[in-house]
Structure 1
Amino acid sequence: MDLQTTIYIGVGLSFALYIGIAIWARAGSTSEFYAAGGSVHPVTNGMATAADWMSAASFISMAGLISNMGYGGGLFLMGWTGGYVLLAMLLAPYLRKFGKFTVPQFIGDRFYSKSASMVAVICLLTASITYIIGQMTGVGVAFSRFLGVSSEVGIYVGMGIVFLYAVFGGMKGITYTQVAQYIVLILAYTVPAIFISLQLTGMPLPQLGLGSNMVGTDVSLLSKLDMVVTDLGFGQYTTTTAGSTLNMFVYTLSLMIGTAGL
């Protein structure tokens, strides 16, 4: 069996898993469709939220940004992560308290205004469409690479799969599908990192390997990384920042607010 056939089988099985979960967890009521019936365990919900964070933007773009920007690229990591914290602290509890399924419903009732609700709908559509364009572009790039198809075909495939499990299961199906995605993604992140760390430093934990010496030398992995990227014309991986400290703070804050708003 050649590599391309193996890839097709792996992708096909993952798609079948996602659609199968959506059918198994299909929504039977409005509450299940919009809020999974309020029956999702906090740990399960955390896994689904983590899968939402580990999207095309983080899986492809942020990895490239941090590789290019080094330490300064960490602001994207902190900004997007902090946005979820803001959301959990400042919006989610009140949405749950009011018993509403959508943010426009919540805003309309909270401010006793249909106009406010309409503004929320417009903001929601604007932010979501902008976000989806970026995400679907990432899906098209990824699929075109390992499926051997054009990026346009990759986008249609990705949209079709998402449409199927969103329509079948609503938020309940999406939640459990994203749990499966979380398991797939976390393995895709950690398994290569573990083996790369073992090969370069002999340490099985990448976090410890990053601060260890290269195998058979007295040169630390971070020092070697600095040497490699500076030879390629980039700034030092461990010290380069995106402007001043204030600039990094404002960037991080804007990413936090943008993520929470989205």
Structure 2
Amino acid sequence: MSLTETTYWVVGASFALYIVIAIRSRASTTQEFYVAGKGIHPIANGMATAADWMSAASFISMAGLIGLSYNGYGGSVFLMGWTGGYVLLAMLIAPYLRKYGKFTVPEFIGDRYYSNTARIVAVLCLIICSVTYVIGQMKGIGVAFSRFLETDYETGLLSGMVIVFFYAVLGGMKGITYTQIAQFCVLIFAYTVPAIFISLQLTGQPIPQLGLGGTLADGSYLLHKLDHILLDLGF
């Protein structure tokens, strides 16, 4: 079996897994559709959130933004804001949204401040943020498919959109959460295995964290090399 065929089998199997998860965890009530029935364990919820952060819009787009910006420090500001936004959202909005029993942020904002104007502003902010995020996600899907599956950009984009639409509409937040948990396992495996082998090749250490303090073949420290790379990027 060729590498291309193996890639198609692996990607097809992962898509099939996501679809099966969406079917088995499909939402049957409004609460399950919007808030997954409030029955997701915190660890599982954290895995789903982490998978969302490690998605195309965050991992590919932010890395490209830092690498292609006039200096890495300037691009990293967006990365810090992106990450900090997750924390602020989790600390300042999510607990009160749950306490109020509302399903959406505009609902919560409108009722909390007794203002339809505030509700409309929240809707506009939500649309702008969501559209920006979805553009990055869809671009990442198209690029990933076109590069790894050797298809054209449009085919990859449409395939990804169909899969996401299927499990998002069928399962709602419940289906999305469990699908994200599966994606987290796939992503962690995909990130960890290359890191282990790179560490072995460069420093002889199978644990990447220990390899950071190791030496390279020329006797120099890996951290010094990485420091020079960061300086070249503008940090």
TM-score of the aligned structures, taking structure 1 as reference length:
0.82
Give the letter for the 1:211 counterpart: G
Question: Hey, what's the Cα distance between the residues in 2 that align with 1:188 and 1:125?
Answer: 32
Q: How does 1:107-256 map to 2 (within 5 A)?
A: 107-215=109-217, 217-225=218-226, 236-239=228-231, 242=234
Instruction: Return the offset for 1:66.
Output: 5.7
Query: What residue in structure 2 maps to residue 45 of structure 1?
Result: 45
Question: Hey, what's the Cα distance between the residues in 1 that align with 2:76 and 2:192?
Answer: 18
Moved more, 52-61 or 144-153: 52-61
Q: Report if the CA contact (8 A) 1:71-1:237 is conserved.
A: no
Question: Hey, what's the Cα distance between the residues in 1 that align with 2:18 and 2:45?
Answer: 16
Structure 2 CA distance for partners of 1:205 and 1:80, relative to 1, 3 Å: farther
Give the letter for the 2:94 counterpart: A
Moved more, 82-91 or 47-56: 82-91
TM-score of the aligned structures, taking structure 2 as reference length:
0.90
Query: What residue in structure 2 maps to residue 230 of structure 1?
Result: none
Unaligned 5+ residue runs, structure 2? none
Question: Hey, what's the Cα distance between the residues in 1 that align with 2:72 and 2:192?
Answer: 20
What percent of counterpart residues are identical?
Answer: 67
Question: Hey, what's the Cα distance between the residues in 2 that align with 1:66 and 1:209?
Answer: 25
Q: How does 1:7-156 map to 2 (within 5 A)?
A: 7-64=7-64, 72=73, 75=77, 77-156=79-158
Deviations 1:165-209 (A, max 9, x none): 011110000000000000001111111011110111011222221
Structure 2 CA distance for partners of 1:68 and 1:133, relative to 1, 3 Å: closer
Give the letter for the 2:88 counterpart: L
Moved more, 113-122 or 183-192: 113-122
Deviations 1:38-65 (A, max 9, x none): 0000000000000010011333234445
Question: Hey, what's the Cα distance between the residues in 1 that align with 2:72 and 2:97?
Answer: 36
Q: Matched residue pairs, number?
A: 233
**2:229 alignment partner, SS class:** coil
Structure 2 CA distance for partners of 1:240 and 1:90, relative to 1, 3 Å: farther
Question: Hey, what's the Cα distance between the residues in 1 that align with 2:42 and 2:90?
Answer: 13
Q: Report if the CA contact (8 A) 2:57-2:133 is conserved.
A: no
Unaligned 5+ residue runs, structure 1? 227-235, 244-262
**2:26 alignment partner, SS class:** coil
Q: Report if the CA contact (8 A) 2:53-2:59 is conserved.
A: no
Q: Report if the CA contact (8 A) 2:61-2:136 is conserved.
A: no
Structure 2 CA distance for partners of 1:71 and 1:120, relative to 1, 3 Å: closer
Question: Hey, what's the Cα distance between the residues in 1 that align with 2:19 and 2:131?
Answer: 24
Question: Hey, what's the Cα distance between the residues in 2 that align with 1:211 and 1:239?
Answer: 19
RMSD of aligned C-alpha atoms? 2.2
